[in-house]
Amino acid sequence: MTKIILTEDGSHTLSDDHSGETYHSIHGAINESKHIFIDAGYDYIDKDISPIKIFEVGFGTGLNAFLTYHKAIEQKRKVQYVTVEPFPIGEEIYTVLNYPQLLGDALCESVFRLMHSVKWDFPYVLSDNFVINKLKTKFQDIALQDDQFHVIYYDAFSPVAQEELWSKESFDKCYNALVDGGVLLTYSAQGQMKRNLKAAGFVVEGLPGPKGKREITRAIKVKNKDL
């Protein structure tokens, strides 16, 4: 069973009984997503790069995609957004999540609902700036082209709940899918996870985390580390 929880910044998150985890930090869902994926990921990439190509592991509530959409509209920057989610949340849940009310107006609500309701496994043009392609599958089951994405939002459940998603093999796939200079962002700062990132070839940075979390991780693809 999935339950809606109100976090400290007034935004919703979900609690998943199967994994025993929440989709976002209880200290603030919007604050956490913005800090990790927008500020440390999207904003890290040169603003002259357009379209910026983003891959997300774990569409979940749609919050990361929604925040990215807002940023793209604000900057008039084109975004191509691909995300995987094997277990989408239902209409009875996403229609009551309060992100549109906190971030915008009635138009925002229609965009947020459209993000969830559009057809899976098919690119959909949400606006002149934003194309989304939701893949209803497991990350392990997809093949990604090499040198395709500028940013990866790695927002799966924790290494404790989904160990297979935090393996060197999974990060090998991410490394190959990123362009040179591309970045992977995650809320996790687990030691073994960082070692797996390094083994896959990434340069790994520990960054200050949002409220309630000391550290997050940014991993950079640098083919020639001597440069």
What pLDDT sits at residue 108? 85
CA 19 vs. chain centroid, Å, equals 19
Q: How far is CA 110 from CA 35, 73, 133, 164, in A?
A: 25, 15, 17, 35
* Beta bridge pairs of residue 2: 16
Average pLDDT over residues 22-28: 94
74 vs 208: CA distance, rounded Å: 25
6 vs 4: CA distance, rounded Å: 7
Residue 17 binned pLDDT confidence (cut-offs 50, 70, 90):
confident
Average pLDDT over residues 190-203: 97
What pLDDT sits at residue 107? 76
Residue 227 binned pLDDT confidence (cut-offs 50, 70, 90):
very low
Phi and psi (nearest 5°) for 215?
Answer: -145, 145
Domains, the chain, ranges and CATH?
Answer: 29-220 (3.40.50.150)
Q: What percent of the chain has pLDDT over 90?
A: 89
pLDDT tens string 215-224: 999 999 997 6
Q: What is Dmax (Cα atoms) for the chain? A: 52
161 vs 167: CA distance, rounded Å: 13
CA 96 vs. chain centroid, Å, equals 21
- SS3 label, residue 143: coil
Residues 89-108: b if buried by 16+ CB within 10 A, e if exposed: beeebbeebebbeebeeeeb
Note the pTM of the prediction, 2 decimals.
Answer: 0.95
Residue 176 has pLDDT above 50, yes or no: yes
- Is residue 60 exposed (0-12), middle (13-18) or buried (19+ Cβ within 10 Å)? buried
Question: By the 8 A CB rule, do 2 and 14 touch?
Answer: yes
Average pLDDT over residues 140-156: 96
Residue 146 binned pLDDT confidence (cut-offs 50, 70, 90):
very high
DSSP 107: H
pLDDT tens string 89-134: 999 999 999 999 998 777 788 999 999 999 999 999 999 999 999 9
CA angle at 174 for the pair 169 and 175, rounded to the nearest 5°: 95
As a dihedral over the C-alpha atoms of residue 79, residue 80, residue 86, residue 92, rounded to 10 degrees, the angle is 50
Q: For all residues of the chain together, what is the average pLDDT?
A: 94
CA 224 vs. chain centroid, Å, equals 26
What pLDDT sits at residue 226? 45
What pLDDT sits at residue 55? 98
29 vs 62: CA distance, rounded Å: 11
pLDDT tens string 62-89: 999 999 999 999 999 999 999 999 999 9
